[in-house]
Amino acid sequence: MSRYNEYRREVLEVSRRLSEGGYFGTKSGTAGNVSALIEGEEVIAITPTAMRYDLMRPEDICVIDFHLQRIEGSHQPSIESPMHIAGYQVRRDVNAIIHTHQVYASSISILNLPIPPLFDEVTLAIGDIVDVIPYALSGTRELHEAVARKLANRCHCYLIQNHGALCVGEDLENTFTYVELLEKISVVYSHALASGKPVSTLPRPVVEKLVASMIARQDIEIDRKDALTRRAAALRA
C-alpha cells in the first residue's frame, strides 16, 4: 500500500463534501481543485483535471512533486497545480489548499472588492482582509505568480477576480472551515453592500490582537515543520 493513500483518501473526502455543499459552483460539475502537502516532502496529492467529484475514486487523486512530475496516479493533475505549488512554496505554515467557485465569494470577486474584518471569530481564523488576486486566465503562469504575491500577507482566504476563491490552511479540515467562513462573510457583506448603507468593520486595535494570535498559530506550525526538517537532515548525516 502506498504511503500517499491516506492523503489521497482525505483529499477526495474533502472534495466530495465541498462539491455536495455547492462550493464548486455546481454540484455536478468539475470546477475547483483541492490539494494536500505530503509531510516532509516537496510532493502534493491533488485532484485530477476536469473530473466529476461524485465519480472520483481515491486512486484518481494525483501525486506530483514541486516540478510537476507525476509520482502516482494515471490522470492529468489539475491545471491549477502550479498555483497550489506556489502556495506551498510561499507559505511554510500551509499544508492544504482549496480553490472553489463558491457563489457568494464569486459575486464579490466580480466587484473586485476586498472583504474587510467584520466579525472577531472570523478574523481570528482567517486574518484581517480577504484580498483580491488580480484576474489572469485559469491555469496560466500569470495566475500562479499573482497568487504567490498575495499569499505573502499571511491570511487564509482570497478572492480571485472574476473567477472564484482560494483558501489555504494548516490541514484540510481547517481549510474546509475557512471556505465556509469565507462564504458566510461573503453572504453577509453582499447583503450589507446591497443595502447601500455604510458597513461597520471591527475596531483596528481588536483586529491587530486577533491577527497577532493567528500569526502565532502559524509560527507554531512553521517551527514544527522546521524541527522535522532538521531531524530528517540529522538522520541523513
Catalytic residues: 80
**Among the residue ranges 7-15, 42-50, 62-70, 109-117, the one whose residues contact ligand 13P (CB under 6 A):** 42-50
Binding of residue 82 to ligand 13P (CB under 6 A): no
In the complex, the smallest distance separating the C-beta of residue 24 from ligand 13P, rounded to whole angstroms, is 8
Cell, residue 173: 479540515
| Contacting range for ligand 13P; rule: CB under 6 A; set: 11-19, 44-52, 87-95, 105-113 | 44-52
Residues sharing a CB contact under 8 Å with residue 183, sequence separation 6 or more, in sequence order: 23, 102, 103, 104, 105
Does 68 sit near ligand 13P (CB under 6 A)? no
Q: Which residue has the cell 472577531?
A: 120
Nearer to ligand 13P, 122 or 157 (CB): 157
Q: Which of 48, 41, 39 is nearest to 11 (CA)?
A: 48
Q: What is the largest CA-CA distance in the chain?
A: 64
Instruction: Decide if residue 49 touches ligand 13P (CB under 6 A).
Output: yes
Q: How far is the CB of 228 from ligand 13P (least distance, A)?
A: 29
Residue among 26 and 112 whose Cβ is closer to ligand 13P: 26
* 15 near ligand 13P, rule: CB under 6 A: no
When asked if residue 93 is in the footprint of ligand 13P (CB under 6 A), the reply is no
- Could you tell me the end-to-end alpha-carbon distance of the chain, in angstroms, rounded to an integer? 28
Strand (E) positions, the chain? 33-37, 43-46, 62-65, 70-72, 96-100, 131-133, 157-160, 164-169
107 touches ligand 13P by CB under 6 A? no
Binding segment for ligand 13P (CB under 6 A), chosen from 29-37, 104-112, 198-206, 217-225, is: 29-37
What one-letter code names the amino acid at 138? S
CB 157 within 8 A of CB 178: yes
Kindly tell me which residue out of 12, 61, 73, 80 binds ligand 13P, with binding defined by CB under 6 A. Answer: 80
30 binds ligand 13P (CB under 6 A): yes
Interface with ligand 13P (CB under 6 A), residue from 15, 33, 109, 161: 33
Which listed residue (19, 78, 95, 123) binds ligand 13P by CB under 6 A? 78
Query: Which span (2-10, 13-21, 46-54, 87-95) binds ligand 13P, by CB under 6 A?
Result: 46-54
Q: Are 95 and 165 in contact (CB under 8 A)?
A: no
Q: d(Cα 9, Cα 59) in Å, to the nearest integer?
A: 8
With vertex at residue 47, the alpha carbon angle to CA 44 and CA 180, rounded to the nearest 5 degrees, is: 95
> Where does residue 129 rank: exposed (0-12), middle (13-18), buried (19+ CB within 10 A)?
middle
Residues in the site for ligand 13P, rule: CB under 6 A? 30-33, 47, 49-50, 78-80, 99, 138
